[in-house]
Amino acid sequence: MKPDKLTDIMLKYWLPMVLAGYLAVFAVHAYSARGTVYGDGRYYFAWVRTLVVGRDIDFTDEFSHYGIIEFLTARGTPGNKFSVGPALTWMPAYTAVHALVRGDGYGWQYQLITGAFGMGLAVSGLVFIYLTLTGIFSRQAAAATVLIIAYGTNLLYYGAFDTVNSHSVSFFAVSLFLLLLRRNFLRAAGAALGLVGLTRPQDLVTGLVLPGLFGIRRLPSFLAGLLPVVAILLITWTAQFTSPLLNPYLTREGFSLADPRLTEVLFDKDFGLITVTPAVGLALIGLALSKLRLPFDRWQLMSALLVQIYLISSWSTWWQGETFGSRMFVGMLPLLSFGVAALIPSGPRSGNRTAVWLLSAAVAYHLVRFAAYALAP
């Protein structure tokens, strides 16, 4: 097929191509697993269930249902260190189902709608990336970038396979944050960054893209959106642990800032960010070589990415247990999209095609690894 024809197909059908693939993966997995809630997802799902059905912040019923044994807080109730952000994001869909079925909050209807909503957030984040990139790059580059992020990174796993988790929410929130910044909606951008922190607090390093984007006189508008949302996280910490400054993650785990496991995080054969998703390595190169200026300067984007890599490398459980690739990095994929787009020629007959072939090979390699991991017994 000629390059012009391929470009036309990609421009017209990039969104259906994403939707079809993600829906297929989600449906097959949800059916074969007989549900969508397991692993860490139980803790996030416990939040939405206790808020909607229990109408409290007491996880006794939820943890008993899932056989979870956790430490007791000073209030005498089981502690849930996982953030409330995903639950608040899923709540409209979960509440709608509960209003219809009036079940116990655990059934397949609740799981299916929550999982599907999580998948929808990932796809919505990809749409936001496309809208952010167009105008900075060509429409061809934006569409190709979306497809590469969708199928060449572990967003495919956490946006279509393991969707009842925090990662698709974080990806959605960061993508929305970047789009709102580009459109100059500062208060809404502040609220979106607040959702980022409410979902995965360490992803607040995304805010490092802010310096120079707006003057000091416009900072109050941004903070007016950011602070009320971040306050929700502090309220939930207080409700459980009696202090707004007690991050429950840091009670049993922590950072070894003097001994980061950089090599393992990037190149471990099972968990390495670049080993499992080599498109990320190409994106970092593309970002470093790009000529991006404000509103998204390449050095600001690189600084956020490098700080995140350092933090993840310093975390006591940098491999994150049962994981496909470096899942803590999913929320940074929207920043990497600029590096991917910078490598893609603006048209079918322009630019160096080597980068396109390398990106295509990276996507194919990732799909093979994804299939092997997803189909493993």
Q: What is the mean pLDDT of each run of 10 residues along the chain (377 residues)?
A: 70 94 98 95 98 96 95 90 97 98 97 98 99 93 97 98 98 97 93 97 86 73 95 95 86 88 94 95 94 80 93 90 88 96 73 84 97 90
Distance CA 110, CA 125 (A): 23
Q: Which domain holds residue 300?
A: 3-375
CB 335 within 8 A of CB 206: yes
pLDDT, tens digit, 9 for 90 and up, residues 294-328: 677 888 899 999 999 999 999 998 888 778 988 99
CB 332 within 8 A of CB 177: no
Residue with tokens 């996507």: 363
Task: Indicate the number of domains in the chain.
Answer: 1
- Stated length of the chain: 377
Distance CA 37, CA 58 (A): 19
pLDDT at position 92 is 98
CA atoms within 13 A on the CB side of 309: 21
pLDDT at position 10 is 82
**E-assigned strand segments in the chain:** none
DSSP letter assigned to residue 255: B
Distance CA 372, CA 202 (A): 30
